[in-house]
Amino acid sequence: MARPLDHKRRQDLLLGALAYAAQHGLADLSLRPLARELGTSDRMLLHYFGTKDKLIGQALVASRPDVRLLVDRQSMGSLATGARVLWNDMISGGDQEPRVRLLLEVLALAMTQADLYGEHARRAITDWVEPLADALRSLGVHDGAEGRATLLVDGLRGLALDYYVTGDSDRVGVAAELLIASVTAV
């Protein structure tokens, strides 16, 4: 008889796998080093998740923030402020930085491994663009709301990539401010 799943342990392993992937990347992820880091065995990871691909997929799903909730928490008049808070969290070691680093890797991997990462990459884009476009519409921006939301989401991700690679916080920070100001101008 199969061992019943300990759901708390499974959740802890999932969060640990997410942290490990954010630190070490997905491209060369191997179950044995991951299991060692999590204080378990590769067999137990397979018991809880079935396959390495399923574990990665579930970790990526767990890494997605509830964007609608984030947008709803911001008063619609402070969308620019919310974007600045998000930007600062992305580049200052906040909760969003490891998620964004992992997401950037997923977006790159989706171009060559669409079967594994394509849906996660698409969801990462639409999960952000749609609520931000709705927020812009509620501010009176009807023409081009999706385009502006796309510019903000993809622009901040691109600037984050620039910052992670170059470390040039001054230049990239100015560009982020210009981007936020132009997208959120009503």
Which whole-number Å values give the CA distances from 7 to 12, 13, 51, 82, 125, in the listed order? 9, 10, 17, 34, 30
The pLDDT value recorded for residue 86 is 84
Structural domain boundaries in the chain = 7-62, 65-184
Tell me: pLDDT of 65 over 70. yes
d(CA 106, CA 122): 10
Pull the structure tokens for residue 14.
């999932």
80-84, 142-146, 170-174: least confident range:
80-84
Tell me: pLDDT of 151 over 90. yes
Q: How confident is residue 5, by pLDDT bands cut at 50, 70 and 90?
A: confident
The pLDDT value recorded for residue 35 is 95
Tell me: pLDDT of 12 over 80. yes
Q: How much is the pTM?
A: 0.81
d(CA 148, CA 144): 6
For the chain, the average pLDDT equals 88
Instruction: Return the closest-CA partner of residue 97 out of 36, 50, 163.
Output: 163
Give the length of the chain.
186
Residues 6+ apart with CB under 8 A from 102: 18, 21, 22, 26, 60, 63
Q: How confident is residue 66, by pLDDT bands cut at 50, 70 and 90?
A: low
pLDDT in tens, 94-134: 777 888 889 999 999 999 999 999 999 999 888 889 888 98
The pLDDT value recorded for residue 3 is 65
* Residues 40/43/45/49 CA torsion (nearest 10 deg): -160
The pLDDT value recorded for residue 137 is 87
d(CA 162, CA 68): 26
The arrangement of secondary structure in 7-62, i.e. its CATH architecture, is: Orthogonal Bundle (1.10)
SS3 content of the chain, % helix, strand, coil (to 5): 80, 0, 20
